[in-house]
Amino acid sequence: MSIPTYDKLFRPVLEMAAREPITRTSANKEMLRQFKLTPAEVDQKLASGGSTMRNRTGWAMTFLTKGKLIEKIATKTYRATAYGREFLGKHPQTITLADLRSISDWEASWGDGKKKAQDENPSLGFTDQKIGELTATPEEIIEREVNAMNTVTRDRLLQAVLDQSPEFFERLVLEVLQAMGYGGKLAVATEHVGRSGDEGIDGRINQDALGLDQILVQAKRYAIDNTIGRPTIQAFVGSLAGQGVNKGVFITTSSFADGARDYVQRGSNLKVVLIDGEMLIDLMIKHGIGTRVAHKYEIHELDQNYFEDE
């Protein structure tokens, strides 16, 4: 039996998740058993070096999660939802990609990654057509899939941050700010505060060796659907003033209400920057914090200038 494509794993993985909690490791182990792969197939690797079968099992779980058929119940652990169990009953033989795409809010669950690709390339309809039947160019297809993969990575990265302790998050945001160049290369540029009596301040960044120019940082690891309002930002501004500092950065995994953003944009002697969860993930990816480049592909094209006559 050849290695199954990820869509062939939808139903068996969902069926397993309906029986017991699963992880990517346990699901992959069970799929290897069910599909009776040969040792050579088990050892088959992607160009990037990862296991082909584990990669496909992971993507199957991602698609099931996007369809709200399985949900995270603990760190790295998933289980079938009530809707997932109902879905199993309605699809007793197989579950196809077309079945998942028929789920309400399927496209919306992928966030901006697919939407951006589709807006920029209307021919990318994310239908069930095979690649050879699409009107999109190879470059457009690559861009679409890269956007989809990046959307998944962003979701997983944010969830990984939320799974950590508040103290871990406070240190993380200082690392991000230093990677951006704040504090330069000073050995003592950043200081994690985060203790009682700190007036809500979680960190300090010294912009010079003597600490004459400081930036105070507040970090809040809140649920994604939480919204930080104006009163919280006003309190942060009060803390800055109380410590004689005129620069501050407020970073959260959630978002800010319009009132909070309007407040800091009014202009005053205090300069405050608000960084929400989306921007934080952008910065982490840009500076390689919590992520790494899995692999790179080079696409070559003809250099017309080389062949042109002088």
> Does the structure show a pLDDT above 70 at 165?
yes
Boundary (domain end) residue, out of 77, 106, 135: 106
Same domain, 278 and 186: yes
Write the DSSP symbol of residue 215: E
Same domain, 198 and 184: yes
Q: Is residue 71 part of a domain?
A: yes
CA distance 61 to 21: 12
Q: pLDDT tens digits, residue range 93-118?
A: 999 999 999 998 888 887 754 444 44
Write the DSSP symbol of residue 256: E
What pLDDT sits at residue 116?
46
Same domain, 177 and 155: no
Boundary (domain end) residue, out of 116, 141, 163: 163
Q: Which domain holds residue 149?
A: 107-163
Q: Is residue 41 part of a domain?
A: yes
CA distance 24 to 107: 23
Q: Is residue 304 part of a domain?
A: no
Q: Is residue 309 part of a domain?
A: no
E strand or H helix at 204: strand 203-206
Same domain, 25 and 39: yes
Q: Is residue 200 part of a domain?
A: yes
CB 232 within 8 A of CB 255: no
The pTM for the full model equals 0.70
Same domain, 177 and 261: yes
Same domain, 2 and 85: yes
Same domain, 179 and 257: yes
Same domain, 176 and 159: no
Same domain, 216 and 275: yes
Looking up tokens 């203790």 gives 195
Q: Is residue 256 part of a domain?
A: yes
CA distance 116 to 110: 10
Q: Is residue 302 part of a domain?
A: no
Same domain, 217 and 119: no
What pLDDT sits at residue 50?
80
Q: pLDDT tens digits, residue range 255-295?
A: 999 999 999 888 667 899 999 999 999 999 999 999 988 87
CATH number at residue 54: 1.10.10.10
Taking all residues of the chain, what is their mean pLDDT, rounded to a whole number?
Answer: 84
Q: Is residue 50 part of a domain?
A: yes
The residue type found at 24 is R
Domain total of the chain = 3
